[in-house]
Chains A and B, each alone.
Chain A
Amino acid sequence: MLRTLIQEVKASMGIYESDADQVYGLLAEFPNPGVLLDAAEATRKEGYRHFDAHSPFPIHGMDDAMGLGNAVGVGVSTFFGGLTGFATACLLQWWTGAVDYPLNISGKPFFAVEPSVPIMFELTVLFAGFGAVAGMLALNGLPRPYNPLFYSDRFEGVTDDRFFLHVAASDEQFDAEETAKMLRNLGAVHIELVQDDGLADS
């Protein structure tokens, strides 16, 4: 139960696990971004969930085609980052000004909201920024120095001029032959079975 949950969370970040036969998934190459976009949409409509598209540049409409939706998580982590920053600033101003080292400066109160607001504002913005970056990294499963797709020689072209769709073996519907057939029908020019035994030196 917990194991499946962790697998699902990792899959939502694009980190898929190999199946019992150490098959990581199918890597299909498509001739151009338009075909890749249509293939991603068709793959989603076939019921696949554990798949990802790879291209040298962002493709307009890919989020909708893959059914990714709006990344609410980044907004939420930004908001709570901001709240944390706000609370930190309140504590910082109060503790340094009124508790740890009270100084009488031209008769002003040791702690007051007015001079603290710029600190609250700045720390809210700073921590909201941290929250946004941390949320973005976490939801993308980054940083991720190791990806089994790197074993494919053709995949090197993904940063240059090649377009790939990867369907993970962890998907419930995955079947090496059936899925390959579907991908070929969608216009894949090359299909490759990627294996991963989880050992970095293989």
Chain B
Amino acid sequence: MADSVKQNTLLSWLVDPLQSTRETAERAYRFTGDRRSWLVPFLLGAALLVISALGGWQRPDDFFFAYLVGWTFLLTTALGGLLFLIFHHLTRASWSIVVHRINEGLIWAFPLLLLLGVPLLFGMHDLYHWTHADLYDPSSSHYDEILAGKRAYLNIPFWGARLVLYFAAWTIVSYRLYTLSVRQDVDPDPDIPAKLRSTSAWGLPLTGVTLAFASYDILMSTDPHWFSTIFGVYFFSGGILSAVSVIALVALLLQKTGGLLRGVITKEHYQDLGKYMFGFTVFWAYIAFSQYMLYWYGGIPEETVWFQHRLQNGWQWHSAALVLFHFVVPFLVLLPRAPKRTSVVLSVMAVWLIGMHWFDLHWVTIPVLRESGGFHWLDFTCWLGLTGIFAGALMYRLRRHSLIPQNHPYLGESLHFENT
């Protein structure tokens, strides 16, 4: 590391691997809020998690599934942000420089998420049917020939090793993208943009492949008989939609409630973020429907069973709501130019889409646990609790550094960006 940007102690490394560079930030780009900006969401999140843990004492399986949905929500959002940043570096996009630091704050999430994922290890037996030992005993009445065939892949040691590998890969890529960019704030080394690009070049396939396998391991294997080859893309499409919404929402919060970055992030940037929200809404619908239509056409029972369950016992309302509120409504609202340039509408849509991403993951995961549709209060407390801690860590990072990469060579272009 350069002398100008120092590393932190191990504990705070989880939240921010760098010491504060706040003093070197230009005044206009400095976060001026006090510690409440990160402490309040963090404490609210922690309180909700304590309540969830108490509820989990009574209903462990409800707790673990709700926790898995909330945790996966944050994981997909962080991964979406990582890929969003990677392809902006690779295409040398200049419009987005002013929102890069928010994105970079979002992606330094994987060490903390790995730690927050530890409670799930205690629920492996509830969450993952394939962990049951009697499935693999030919003399048992529970012997399952199909799962026995998948045992070489779906077993706890290999599953754990894979997850560690995924998190290591994501941490390395995000560490380089985050720290190189922050270092540029204090040391405008002209080689840094090229380093960011080359990291993105090998980081893109690495993240893409590990993300796809992570989607199989974390979510798809909750229903271990079922399989879908498009599941990784589905996992990604919702995550990147959520990530773009988070970036837009954080930018709007900093401007509207914090009075920061006035004239730095403009309507022109919001319109582009809105275009991405619109685009990934359509992309999500395209992928989600592609998965459904092929199984509908094939009509093979072991494939259709997954959707059949989600079209019965109250889950059909969740499915219908997903089509309507995850696709039709955001599609029509974000289609014209004006809503993307109106901060109130865009912030409502950002919150809406973030919520719909959680609803989507809830629809994917919870039918494995419960026969009939609906919600349990733990679904909400686990999700919001984890999100509070995550948001607190994000605000903590933003507070410690310049709010935009102030020495990026394309910054001037980004500041004067206009949609034609």
- A residues within 8 Å of B by Cβ? 70, 75, 79, 106-108, 114-115, 117-118
Contact = CB atoms under 8 A, between A and B. Distances in A.
A115 B297 CA distance: 8
Contacts of B299: 106-108
A120 to B, nearest CB: 11
Interface stretch (B18-26, B104-112, B288-296): B288-296
A75 B297 CA distance: 35
B39 to A, nearest CB: 43
Contacts of A106: 299
Contact of B337 (A70, A107, A118): A70
Contact residues of B: prevailing secondary structure: helix
Contacts of A115: 293, 296-297
B336 interface: yes
B345 interface: no
A106 B298 CA distance: 10
B305 interface: no
B297 A79 contact: no
B289 A117 contact: yes
A175 B292 CA distance: 67
B293 A114 contact: yes
A79 B336 CA distance: 9
Contacts of A114: 292-293, 296-297
17 contacts: A70-B337, A75-B336, A75-B337, A79-B335, A106-B299, A107-B299, A108-B299, A114-B292, A114-B293, A114-B296, A114-B297, A115-B293, A115-B296, A115-B297, A117-B289, A117-B293, A118-B293
B182 to A, nearest CB: 35
Interface string B292-312: 110011010000000000000
A96 B335 CA distance: 31
B336 to A, nearest CB: 6
Interface residues of B, number: 9
Interface in B282-338: 289, 292-293, 296-297, 299, 335-337
Interface string B329-373: 000000111000000000000000000000000000000000000
Contacts of B296: 114-115
A75 B337 CA distance: 9
Contacts of A75: 336-337
Contacts of A107: 299
Nearest to B292: A114
A115 B294 CA distance: 9
B286 to A, nearest CB: 8
A115 B289 CA distance: 11
Interface in B95-151: none
Given A107-B299, A114-B293, 7 more contacts: A79-B335, A106-B299, A108-B299, A114-B292, A114-B296, A115-B293, A117-B289
A115 B296 CA distance: 9
B301 to A, nearest CB: 13
A17 B336 CA distance: 34
A107 B292 CA distance: 18
Contacts of A70: 337
Contacts of B289: 117
Contacts of B292: 114
Contacts of A79: 335
A128 to B, nearest CB: 11
Interface centre among A75, A108, A114, A115 (most CB of B within 10 A): A114
B271 to A, nearest CB: 11
The 8 A-B residue pairs with the shortest CB-CB distance in the complex, in nearest-first order: A114-B296, A114-B293, A117-B289, A75-B336, A70-B337, A117-B293, A115-B297, A106-B299
Contacts of B335: 79
Contacts of B336: 75
Interface in B242-294: 289, 292-293
Contacts of A117: 289, 293
A102 B116 CA distance: 56
Nearest to A107: B299
A202 B293 CA distance: 65
Contacts of B337: 70, 75
A161 B296 CA distance: 61
Contacts of A118: 293
A117 B293 CA distance: 9
B113 to A, nearest CB: 35
A93 to B, nearest CB: 14
B41 to A, nearest CB: 38
A1 B329 CA distance: 41
